[in-house]
Amino acid sequence: MKRWDHRPFEVRNLFNPAFCGLILFRAIQGYEENDPRGLPFSLSLLILPLSLHKDSRDVIASSPRSYLLKITENNPQLQVGFSERAASMLPYALEAFGLLMERGCISVTKDGRFQSIPDKVRKSVTGTDETKACQRVARLVGKEFSRIADRVTIYTTFGIRP
């Protein structure tokens, strides 16, 4: 990973650790709505590629009441290039988790799950329309991951070998 001041302007803005951390935090909160044990680390790595990629985000946001497995079945384009996007987003996710931990916004359980710490991040979803959409989709994806409750199924759905 390049030093912060050596990164292109666009990368510094889009993959800013605070913004990526906020996206991950919203997903953790969404996951905890159905499963208070917290979001497993292995699933957390899929949040940024689904929430930040505009085409994926638009497909997921267009069917907020549908199940994620059904959305993926009806929109196979979600799988195209997904594993590469997920791999390329890994350093940004780790950087964001570092910031969330440093700021006391999340905790890690003994079994490797992320849990949100109450009252550390503003509950209201604010920002531009695009940043709001990223946050809403992240929460929705987190909630859907907890409903599915099987990591192998989720990874396989997106064409990644667990």
Within a domain: residue 111? Answer: yes
C-alpha span between 95 and 12 (Å, rounded): 12
Within a domain: residue 84? Answer: yes
Residue 1 binned pLDDT confidence (cut-offs 50, 70, 90): low
Would you say residue 127 has pLDDT above 90? no
SS3 of 74-124: the string is HCHHHHCCHHHHHHHHHHHHHHHHHHHHHCCCEEECCCCEEEECCCCCCCC
Helix, coil or strand: residue 107: strand
Q: If you average pLDDT over residues 41-62, what whole number do you get?
A: 95
Would you say residue 162 has pLDDT above 70? no
What is the H or E stretch that residue 39 is in? strand 39-40
Mean residue pLDDT of the chain comes to 91
How many domains are there within the chain? Answer: 1
Between 81 and 11, where is the model more confident? 81
The pLDDT of residue 8: 79
Backbone φ, ψ for residue 45 (5° rounding)? -75, -10
The pLDDT of residue 81: 92
Q: If you average pLDDT over residues 83-103, what whole number do you get?
A: 94
Would you say residue 102 has pLDDT above 80? yes
Residues in the chain: 162
- Domain of 83 in residue numbering reads as 4-157
Within a domain: residue 162? Answer: no
Residue 113 binned pLDDT confidence (cut-offs 50, 70, 90): very high
Structure tokens at 27: 């997903």
Q: If you average pLDDT over residues 12-21, what whole number do you get?
A: 86
Within a domain: residue 48? Answer: yes
Residue 57 binned pLDDT confidence (cut-offs 50, 70, 90): very high
Within a domain: residue 39? Answer: yes
Q: Which of 1, 33, 20, 42 is nearest to 161 (CA)?
A: 42
**What pTM value is reported for the model?**
0.92
Q: Which of 108, 105, 87 is nearest to 37 (CA)?
A: 108
